């Protein structure tokens, strides 16, 4: 009898010891990972991003520069398309730049403290540190962390799985999932270089306008003639890039379409959708315009990464551009997260 009790005590102590070791192991790994990602003076990284939500999957190439304390430059380009967007933070503020449309918006924002993205490894480190229910699994060559998201789509996509290479202690992928743990976004890190710092001038947005001027000065005669002919046909201030577009609608079970109106203004078609109920909102959409010169335009609120594009969000509105269409959602009833849910659900078609 006494021997059996001793055996049970030994087994119980062994279980406690193993449990304690497992907890210590997770804390130790987490401390090393957070220290390596969060304490670097700067970094460069290249990644791919696949977005599976909202229709056909889309693939993007992402390039990130970060120099401490607060300089960032993120470029997102859709694969197979010559369309890119940049979000830049420098000493003058936060800018969202769309070179192909000659558009530049300036924000007085604390981004990326709000609305950060999973391709910013500092934000990932904060996600791991803040999650009290964090779970770590250990594989042969990797640590797998299951954590909650804390970004702009945390309500519709609350889960993420972060894979970390054991040898380098750097992230290799992030999978972001919806509430039933279906994969919505996958970010695959191709290259991460820690300790890289860029000079302040490399974060200056003026270089984008200078680049346009230089290109114009070095253009061939044929290119100059073509440019001049085009400019003669342009309206003062902006050019309509797309004359026709298909109407998009939010795919949401709580959105009730009350009215759809088409307005013609200065030869441009604008569609206005009105949704009623406790979560009432209005959606406006029209062909995007290309500016003749790239000058920063002040924008209220914060930049918000919607996955497929970078938009602007306030407490009562969210705006963005996608596939040649400008979108604007306005509401005094929706939260920021709900407005983002509307934006990310917009799909070409008809209301069911």
pLDDT given for residue 60 in this prediction:
92
Mean pLDDT is lowest, of 106-115, 210-219, 291-300, for 210-219
204 within some domain:
no
151 and 58 inside one domain:
yes
4 within some domain:
no
Q: What count of other Cβ atoms lies within 10 Å of the Cβ of residue 52?
A: 15
pLDDT over threshold 80, residue 3 = no
Alpha-carbon distance of 159 to 134, in angstroms, equals 11
**Predicted structure pTM score:** 0.78
325 within some domain:
yes
pLDDT given for residue 93 in this prediction:
93
pLDDT given for residue 11 in this prediction:
54
pLDDT given for residue 298 in this prediction:
87
49 within some domain:
yes
pLDDT given for residue 228 in this prediction:
44
Q: How confident is the model at residue 100 (pLDDT cuts 50, 70, 90)?
A: confident
pLDDT over threshold 70, residue 52 = yes
pLDDT over threshold 50, residue 280 = yes
- Rounding to the nearest 10 degrees, give the CA dihedral for residues 309, 313, 317, 323: -10
User: Which SS3 state, helix, strand or coil, does residue 99 take?
Assistant: helix
Alpha-carbon distance of 255 to 129, in angstroms, equals 36
49 and 186 inside one domain:
yes
| Nearest CA-CA partner of 169 in 128, 211, 203, 132 | 128
38 and 177 inside one domain:
yes
* Antiparallel, parallel or unpaired: β 346-348 and 281-287: unpaired
209 within some domain:
no
Number of domains present in the structure of the chain: 2
267 and 145 inside one domain:
no
Cα 41 versus chain centre, distance: 23
38 and 143 inside one domain:
yes
What average pLDDT score do residues 4-26 get?
Answer: 54
Using the 3D structure, point to which of 192, 208, 232 is the last residue of a domain: 192
208 within some domain:
no
C-alpha triplet 294, 296, 302: angle, nearest 5°: 130
What average pLDDT score do residues 2-6 get?
Answer: 58
What average pLDDT score do residues 26-38 get?
Answer: 88
165 and 251 inside one domain:
no
57 and 157 inside one domain:
yes
212 within some domain:
no
User: Which SS3 state, helix, strand or coil, does residue 49 take?
Assistant: strand
Note down the domain range covering 337: 246-346
41 and 127 inside one domain:
yes
Cα 137 versus chain centre, distance: 27
Q: How far is CA 59 from CA 48, 55, 86, in A?
A: 7, 13, 16
C-alpha triplet 265, 267, 272: angle, nearest 5°: 40
CATH number for the domain harbouring residue 254:
3.30.200.100
253 and 167 inside one domain:
no
115: left (phi over 0), alpha (psi -120 to 50) or beta: left
């Amino acid at each position: 009898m006494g021997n059996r009790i001793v055996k049970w005590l030994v087994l119980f102590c062994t279980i406690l010891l193993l449990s304690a070791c497992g907890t210590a192991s997770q804390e130790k790994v987490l401390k090393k990972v957070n220290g390596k990602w969060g304490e670097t003076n700067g970094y460069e990284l290249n990644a791919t991003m696949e977005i599976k939500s909202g229709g056909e999957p889309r693939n993007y190439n992402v390039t990130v520069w970060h120099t401490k304390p607060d300089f960032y430059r993120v470029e997102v380009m859709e694969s197979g398309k010559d369309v890119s967007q940049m979000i830049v933070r420098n000493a003058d503020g936060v800018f969202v730049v769309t070179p192909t449309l000659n558009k530049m918006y300036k924000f007085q924002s604390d981004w990326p403290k709000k609305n950060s993205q999973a391709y910013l490894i500092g934000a990932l480190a904060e996600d791991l540190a803040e999650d009290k229910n964090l779970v770590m699994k250990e594989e042969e060559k990797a640590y797998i962390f299951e954590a909650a998201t804390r970004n702009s789509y945390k309500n519709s996509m609350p889960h993420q799985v972060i894979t970390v290479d054991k040898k380098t202690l750097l992230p290799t992928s992030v999978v972001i999932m919806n509430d039933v743990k279906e994969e919505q976004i996958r970010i695959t890190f191709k290259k991460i270089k820690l300790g890289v710092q860029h000079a302040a001038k490399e974060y200056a947005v003026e270089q984008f306008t200078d680049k346009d001027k230089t290109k114009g000065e070095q253009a061939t005669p044929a290119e100059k003639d073509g440019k001049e002919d085009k400019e003669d046909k342009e309206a003062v201030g902006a050019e309509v890039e797309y004359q026709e577009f298909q109407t998009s609608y939010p795919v949401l079970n709580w959105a009730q379409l009350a009215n759809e109106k088409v307005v013609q203004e200065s030869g441009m078609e604008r569609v206005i959708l009105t949704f009623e109920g406790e979560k009432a909102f209005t959606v406006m959409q029209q062909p995007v315009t290309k500016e003749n010169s790239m000058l920063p335009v002040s924008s209220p609120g914060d930049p918000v990464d919607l996955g497929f594009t970078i938009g602007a969000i306030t407490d009562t509105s969210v705006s963005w551009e996608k596939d040649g269409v400008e979108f604007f959602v306005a509401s005094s009833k929706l939260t920021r997260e709900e407005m983002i849910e509307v934006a990310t659900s917009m799909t070409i078609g008809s209301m069911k």
